[in-house]
């Protein structure tokens, strides 16, 4: 059986009853909901689903339909960039499925959302049909409030599917991609300009680290460097954190804490640990639980009581 991951992002993180209704809409046979992460300042919820490719596509469609009915973008606000109620729907291949199959499914899903729900759909990443819409920042160049006017007037904003007009549910970005790690660093200041300067310095588009996207935001009264590591095999978590630490220190500040939004691959965390401990990559094969799992089939954590 194929195994894919879907990580839809919804523009709601303040009303638990709405989040619950959207999550419930995704309860489809053959789909496991393995994580739900909400944040009030971002006003955003990230859900992680895994399952076979067709049930995942059905669950994603139902979630978009529920979000479109429950979230009014005309009333929505938050610090995170967004274009719609069901803002982003990426498909990620995990086992026995190719990225090309996820691309095909993403395009079919986008077409269905556009035709049956009447929502503008922009394809991105590996599913993109246009070279100027490969990255998510390109797709979200105009936030909802700006896209309302530009989607029908600017040819570069014409959606791939659905109407060239935005209603209360906004638009949806549907894509297929590799694993992405959402990794945030909080600085010891409430000065937003510091986080913004750090983000500009470390992100790929500013000449910083490859495969790193970053924004400076103000969250819970603290300056946050919000990062997306689009390929942790190119730039890992520790490398990204070290870059933030150095850029912050150059401005007289330090990192107080970090957080993950959603899930991260085990190998990304192991790589970070090996780097921090200055161990060779071969040491990843010396993890006790992994060896026990290989021998017995039981990969459960050991409590060491």
- Enumerate the active-site residues: 80
b/e sequence 124-135, b meaning 16+ C-beta within 10 Å: bbbbbeeeebbb
Q: Which residues, in sequence order, are CB contacts of 57 under 8 Å at separation 6+?
A: 91, 105, 108, 109
Quote the DSSP letter at residue 161: B
d(CA 266, CA 81): 28
Are 114 and 68 in contact, with CB atoms under 8 Å apart?
Answer: no
- Alpha carbon of 156 to those of 11, 36, 165: distances in Å? 24, 34, 14
Q: What are phi and psi of 104, to 5 degrees?
A: -60, -45
**6, 59 contact by CB (below 8 A):** yes
- Whether the CB-CB separation of 224 and 185 falls below 8 Å is answered with yes
Cβ atoms < 10 Å from Cβ of 152? 15
The two tokens of residue 65 are 């339909």
User: Can you tell me the distance from the alpha carbon of 241 to that of 2, in angstroms, rounded to the nearest whole number?
Assistant: 34
Q: Residues 110, 57, 121, CA angle at the centre, nearest 5°?
A: 15
Residue indicated by tokens 């982003």? 88
How far CA 276 is from CA of 104, 172, 219, 241, 273, in Å, comes to 39, 39, 27, 11, 5
CB atoms within 10 A of CB 280: 7
């Amino acid at each position: 059986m194929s195994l894919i991951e879907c990580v839809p992002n919804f523009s709601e993180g303040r009303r638990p009853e709405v989040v619950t209704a959207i999550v419930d809409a995704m309860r489809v046979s053959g789909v496991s909901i393995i994580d739900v992460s909400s944040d009030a300042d971002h006003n955003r919820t990230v859900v992680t689903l895994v399952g076979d490719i067709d049930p995942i596509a059905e669950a994603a469609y139902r979630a978009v339909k529920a979000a479109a009915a429950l979230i009014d973008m005309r009333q929505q606000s938050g610090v995170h960039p967004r274009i719609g109620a069901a803002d982003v729907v990426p498909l990620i291949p995990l086992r026995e499925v190719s990225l090309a199959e996820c691309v095909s499914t993403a395009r079919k899903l986008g077409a269905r959302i556009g035709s049956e729900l009447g929502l503008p759909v922009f394809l991105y990443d590996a599913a993109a049909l246009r070279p100027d819409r490969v990255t998510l920042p390109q797709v979200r160049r105009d936030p909802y409030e700006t896209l309302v006017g530009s989607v029908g007037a600017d040819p570069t904003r014409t959606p791939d599917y659905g109407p060239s007009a935005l209603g209360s549910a906004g638009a949806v970005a549907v894509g297929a991609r590799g694993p992405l790690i959402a990794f945030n660093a909080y600085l010891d200041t409430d000065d937003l300009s510091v986080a913004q300067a750090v983000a500009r310095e470390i992100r790929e588009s500013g000449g910083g680290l490859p495969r790193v996207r970053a924004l400076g935001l103000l969250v819970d009264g603290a300056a946050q460097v919000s990062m997306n590591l689009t390929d942790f095999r190119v730039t890992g978590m520790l490398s990204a954190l070290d870059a933030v630490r150095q850029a912050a220190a150059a401005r007289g500040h330090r990192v107080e804490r970090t957080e993950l939004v959603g899930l991260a691959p085990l190998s990304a965390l192991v790589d970070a640990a090996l780097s921090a401990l200055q161990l060779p990559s071969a040491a990843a094969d010396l993890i006790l639980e992994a060896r026990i799992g290989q021998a017995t089939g039981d990969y459960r954590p050991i409590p060491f009581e």
